[in-house]
Chains A and B, each alone.
Chain A
Amino acid sequence: MRVLVTSFAMDAHFNGMVPLAWALRTAGHEVRVASQPALTPSIARAGLTAVPVGDDHQVEQVMTAAAPGVFALHQNPDYLEGRPELLDLDFLESSTTMLTAMFYAQINNDSMVDEMVAFSRWWRPDLVIWEPFTFAGAVAAHVTGAAHARLLWGPDLFLQVYQRFQRLLAPQPPELRDDAVRDWLTWTLGRHGAEFSPEVVTGHWTIDQMPASVRFELDQPLVPMRYIPYNGPLPAVVPSWSRTDPDRPRVCVTQGMTERTTGFSGLDAVADLLEAIAELDVEVIATVKAGERIRPLPGNVRVVDSVPLHVVLPSCDAVVHHGGAGTWAGAALYGVPQLALAWQWDDVFRALRLEKLGAGMYLPPGPARQPGAVRDGLAHLLADSSFRAGAAKIREEMLDCPTPNEVVPALEDLTAAHRGAPSGIPAGTAPAHR
């Protein structure tokens, strides 16, 4: 089959798609990866075939202006901690409006959507696999009649909250239903001669890389898949220091790559944090960007610019991180107890699940996150072997999931079942987008 994989141009959102793209490729399928031009180098370094579409999105500039309000709304603990049943219509309408205006419609800019549709009309993919915010993929699939699925990088908070929104909207009179994401997708599809359909928000099915105990049972076809670490376009090289076992417990401290590049960070005062942690009898591997090496650090702290997580995590006894999807999933896969300093979006939910499952601890923003408190938390995590056992259970769950290679036949069957006739106006007669 022809499979179009797409993520808006942001490494962290694309990285989780690379192993499945390769699995499809090695199963003999044609695979293309469409995104804005800014992602082309990352796609190419992953060894995949890039289709640059449209102009680059401007979401960082937009979010710089809009972030304070967007974050203020979404610090609602019922949202962060996964209690959608407590969210009211006002919150859901506000969240949907803000995220559509400031995020979804920004990362799926019109020129990117339109070129992806044009490419799909020409290339005629059988299946489109889209990152769950990259609705352009769903639009292109819907217009051309391709089957399409979302590939999740984390627990499906988006759909869980959206389903709650739909349940609250349903009893409203039609003229009072204010669903910005639906409105935006309606006119976006309309530009290509197609009508809105709910699968454009949800996909025909969902491919979920979370372990079973962190996954939501939502009323949607689900294909579980094992998470395979791929940390992005940085060279994956095994450093010499990592080729022997440490003589003390090894702790990895990382803030991931996204928070290093976007300026939105929950990990402050990294040097203070490292000094405090180094008071323990541990070896610390810290990945921080060069500019943060502000002063000499204790001898048991090794600062590296980057290191592939799948190389270093198997030798670690604990990991301290910002809560991001890739770091969380990598640590979970290798059964490493986690100390999550999460503060936003799905990061908080995943961190809380760790606590519930006895596989780690969540330190909320505030006094619990002072360097001394982090050190004490880490000491507890290392001393109590139950965390290792809890983490091992999550690892088992992940290993129970089929690998990307094993998932491919299911995707072939689902594609055959869902592929349909194009619903958009055939190529050549679509109204040109001015």
Chain B
Amino acid sequence: MPTTPQTLPPTVPTAVTPSELGRHLLTIRGFHFVLGALGDPYARLLRGEGDDTAALGDEIRRAGPLFRSHLGTCVTASGEAAAALLRDPRLDTGHPGGDRAHLGENLWETWRTCHVTPMDDALLTLPLADYRRLDRVNRPVLGPVTAGAWRADVRHAAGRVADRAGEAFDLAADLVRPAVAASLSRVLGLSGPGGPDAGGSGPRGSGPLNGAASGLRREGLRREGTRAGEGGSLAEEPGAGDPGPAERELAELLPRLGVALDAVLCPPRLPVARDLEEAVARARVLVHDLVTARAAEPGDDAVSAMLATGLGEADVAAACLLHLVAGAEIAAATAADAIVALLDHPGQWAAVCRSPELAADAVEETLRWSPPVRLVSRTAQEPLAAHGQEIDADAHVVIVVDAANRDLAGVADPDRFDLAHAGAPSLSLTGGGPEELVAPLARVVATEIVRAAASRWPGLRADGAVVRRMRSPVVRAVVRLPLCR
């Protein structure tokens, strides 16, 4: 097990054996199936497969603005209630007092299914105040206004991946996953300026991914050329080369990390949970090495820029880890679902192919219609009355974002995927949690992947069925879709 990087909050040791973790996850999975068999729509949602999620959202909404699941959770699929709860300062990620670890509890007594898998090391269940603090380093560099400055880098990275695709390829494995890895590798500077990943003929070097903890080669840290702005020059870039080792490791690591967003509410299989633990530990080392390297010698990347805010290495490292754990999965899910939805609506695909700038509208509509974070989990810090119901202190509250989005006022035909909905209200990636922090960069990455596909392959079509990750009720991640171009 790697040592705890000092730049990040210390790891939280899990004092349970694999068998105990397995039993904990199995028991909660059992709860979901038992209550699902009795028709509880929230339990059925958490099963993560075998159901029409839109219909379950409707069922929850019909039960009232706050549906009380037999799991003990207050669930809302109402647009108005969801919007209010996502803003409500009396809700937070942990229990009052901060507790959010239920391993080793007797679940038959506590029935606590709110923090299924410990996610503190992945920083997904920090108190909301911590995300507000982290946003001070993130916002000037990768915030809603600033993230667009990385668009040209992302466009180049995604384009390079798209150019490698053959006549027949897989949406997830050959386009979305490697493009997200290439984009993040480049924006965060993981491949290291001048390193093997930065391009064919540059001076040899080694970024943190390559050098890991063994130390960095310091030559050639400064990349030639200037920060490429929106639509800026793409000179100096290597063309359609193969990804370097840093990018390849990231492409392998990011899908493993992506399970984290689901694992908060839905128990993964034990081997997946343990693999996630390892992946998070590895990501923490990468981030630590990256931040340490950029602190010593800044490069032309977002981490260096965040460090330049002077707000401290620890928060830069934490923000960076969130981009890897949450941002990558959100970008991948959004891009994949956007392409799936567009291919299901050939007229809209044709429109984006004719005008690739519509990729941004496609991403916004995907976020509304098929959000990458469908369930947001909160705990009441104090008793509150909301929407005609009492919510006890310590009660678990879940917002079903996809269903709530379809219930917001001001959207005509909300159940339909339609580029014309551009600008429609949406609650996706709001609420002050990790997903809001990483959203601006994830939007840029998803948009550029859609754009890369649409601008190259007007004849793109599905050549099989979409396969989604199992036990993925939050992300509903696409793991496979064969495509022909």
Listed in ascending order, the chain A residues whose CB lies under 8 Å from chain B are 58, 61-62, 65-66, 68-70, 72-73, 90, 93-94, 97-98, 100-102, 105, 110, 173, 175-176, 178, 180, 183-184, 186-188, 190-191, 433-434
Instruction: Name B270's contact: one of A173, A176, A183 (CB within 8 Å).
Output: A183
Indicate whether B90 reaches chain A with its CB closer than 8 angstroms.
Answer: no
Known: A65-B108, A178-B470, A183-B269. A97 touches B19 (CB 8 A): no
Task: Say which size band chain B's interface belongs to.
Answer: 20 to 34
Q: Which residues of chain B are near A175, meaning CB under 8 Å?
A: 469-470, 479
Q: Which residues of chain B are near A69, meaning CB under 8 Å?
A: 33-38
- Docked complex Cα distance between A101 and B27 (Å): 5
Indicate whether B443 reaches chain A with its CB closer than 8 angstroms.
Answer: no
Asked if B467 contacts A173 (CB within 8 A), the reply is yes
Asked if A94 contacts B36 (CB within 8 A), the reply is yes
Asked if B37 contacts A187 (CB within 8 A), the reply is no
Indicate whether B18 reaches chain A with its CB closer than 8 angstroms.
Answer: yes
Q: Which residue of B lies closest to A176 (CB)?
A: B470
Q: Which residue of A lies closest to B18 (CB)?
A: A187
Nearest chain B CB to A111 CB, angstrom units: 11
Q: Which residues of chain A are near B35, meaning CB under 8 Å?
A: 69
Q: Which residues of chain B are near A62, meaning CB under 8 Å?
A: 108
**Residue picked from B18, B26, B270, most chain A C-beta under 10 Å:** B26
17 contacts between A and B (CB under 8 A): A72-B38, A90-B50, A94-B50, A98-B30, A98-B34, A101-B33, A175-B469, A175-B470, A176-B470, A178-B470, A178-B471, A183-B269, A183-B270, A186-B271, A187-B22, A187-B270, A190-B19
- Docked complex Cα distance between A415 and B214 (Å): 55
Mark B145-175 against chain A: 1 for CB-CB distance below 8 A, else 0: 0000000000000000000000000000000
Q: Which residue of B lies closest to A104 (CB)?
A: B26
- Docked complex Cα distance between A94 and B48 (Å): 12
Q: Which residues of chain A are near B186, meaning CB under 8 Å?
A: none
Indicate whether B62 reaches chain A with its CB closer than 8 angstroms.
Answer: no
Nearest chain A CB to B123 CB, angstrom units: 26
Known: A97-B29, A102-B30, A176-B467. A183 touches B17 (CB 8 A): no
Indicate whether B354 reaches chain A with its CB closer than 8 angstroms.
Answer: no
Nearest chain B CB to A177 CB, angstrom units: 8
Q: Which residues of chain A are near B480, meaning CB under 8 Å?
A: 173
Q: Which residues of chain A are near B29, meaning CB under 8 Å?
A: 97, 101, 180
Interface of chain B residues 11 through 34 with chain A (CB within 8 A): 17-20, 22-23, 26-27, 29-31, 33-34
Asked if B36 contacts A100 (CB within 8 A), the reply is no
Interface of A is mostly: helix
Listed in ascending order, the chain B residues whose CB lies under 8 Å from chain A are 17-20, 22-23, 26-27, 29-31, 33-38, 49-50, 108, 269-271, 467, 469-471, 479-480
Q: Which residue of B lies closest to A102 (CB)?
A: B30
Nearest chain B CB to A157 CB, angstrom units: 19
- Docked complex Cα distance between A289 and B225 (Å): 90
- Docked complex Cα distance between A180 and B37 (Å): 17
Asked if B33 contacts A190 (CB within 8 A), the reply is no
Q: Which residues of chain B are near A434, meaning CB under 8 Å?
A: 17, 20
Q: Which residue of B lies closest to A113 (CB)?
A: B19
Q: Which residues of chain A are near B17, meaning CB under 8 Å?
A: 191, 433-434
Q: Which residues of chain A are near B49, meaning CB under 8 Å?
A: 90
**Residue picked from A176, A184, A190, most chain B C-beta under 10 Å:** A176
- Docked complex Cα distance between A70 and B30 (Å): 10
- Docked complex Cα distance between A93 and B33 (Å): 10
Q: Which residues of chain B are near A102, meaning CB under 8 Å?
A: 30, 34
Q: Which residues of chain B are near A90, meaning CB under 8 Å?
A: 49-50
- Docked complex Cα distance between A183 and B37 (Å): 22
Q: Which residue of B lies closest to A98 (CB)?
A: B33
Q: Which residues of chain B are near A58, meaning CB under 8 Å?
A: 108
Q: Which residues of chain B are near A93, meaning CB under 8 Å?
A: 50
Q: Which residues of chain A are near B34, meaning CB under 8 Å?
A: 66, 68-70, 98, 101-102
Q: Which residue of B lies closest to A68 (CB)?
A: B38
CB-CB nearest 8 A-B residue pairs: A101-B30, A69-B34, A73-B37, A69-B37, A90-B50, A187-B22, A72-B37, A98-B33
Nearest chain A CB to B448 CB, angstrom units: 27
Asked if B26 contacts A70 (CB within 8 A), the reply is no
Nearest chain A CB to B49 CB, angstrom units: 8
Instruction: Name B22's contact: one of A94, A173, A184 (CB within 8 Å).
Output: A184
- Docked complex Cα distance between A187 and B26 (Å): 12
Asked if A110 contacts B471 (CB within 8 A), the reply is no
Q: Which residues of chain A are near B18, meaning CB under 8 Å?
A: 187, 190-191
Q: A58-B108, A433-B19 given. 8 additional CB < 8 A pairs?
A: A66-B34, A69-B33, A69-B37, A70-B34, A73-B33, A97-B30, A101-B33, A183-B270
Asked if B108 contacts A61 (CB within 8 A), the reply is yes
Asked if B26 contacts A94 (CB within 8 A), the reply is no
Q: Which residues of chain A are near B271, meaning CB under 8 Å?
A: 183, 186
- Docked complex Cα distance between A72 and B271 (Å): 30
Nearest chain A CB to B401 CB, angstrom units: 25
- Docked complex Cα distance between A58 and B33 (Å): 20
Q: Which residue of B lies closest to A184 (CB)?
A: B26
- Docked complex Cα distance between A62 and B37 (Å): 16
Q: Which residues of chain B are near A188, meaning CB under 8 Å?
A: 19
Q: Which residues of chain B are near A433, meaning CB under 8 Å?
A: 17, 19
Asked if A101 contacts B26 (CB within 8 A), the reply is yes
Q: Which residue of A lies closest to B111 (CB)?
A: A65
Instruction: Name A100's contact: one of B20, B26, B38, B467 (CB within 8 Å).
Output: B26
Asked if A98 contacts B37 (CB within 8 A), the reply is yes
Instruction: Name B23's contact: one of A72, A94, A110, A176 (CB within 8 Å).
Output: A110
- Docked complex Cα distance between A183 and B21 (Å): 12
Nearest chain B CB to A180 CB, angstrom units: 7
Q: Which residue of A lies closest to B469 (CB)?
A: A175
Nearest chain A CB to B40 CB, angstrom units: 9
Q: Which residue of B lies closest to A89 (CB)?
A: B50
Asked if A110 contacts B19 (CB within 8 A), the reply is yes
Nearest chain B CB to A138 CB, angstrom units: 17
Q: Which residues of chain A are near B26, meaning CB under 8 Å?
A: 97, 100-101, 105, 180, 183-184
- Docked complex Cα distance between A187 and B108 (Å): 21
- Docked complex Cα distance between A188 and B480 (Å): 32
Nearest chain B CB to A92 CB, angstrom units: 11
Q: Which residue of A lies closest to B34 (CB)?
A: A69
Nearest chain A CB to B348 CB, angstrom units: 29
- Docked complex Cα distance between A62 and B467 (Å): 35
Q: Which residues of chain B are near A184, meaning CB under 8 Å?
A: 22, 26
Asked if B269 contacts A191 (CB within 8 A), the reply is no
Nearest chain B CB to A36 CB, angstrom units: 17
Known: A97-B29, A180-B29. A187 touches B19 (CB 8 A): yes
Instruction: Name A66's contact: one of B19, B30, B50 (CB within 8 Å).
Output: B30
Q: Which residues of chain A are near B19, meaning CB under 8 Å?
A: 110, 187-188, 190-191, 433
- Docked complex Cα distance between A265 and B17 (Å): 38
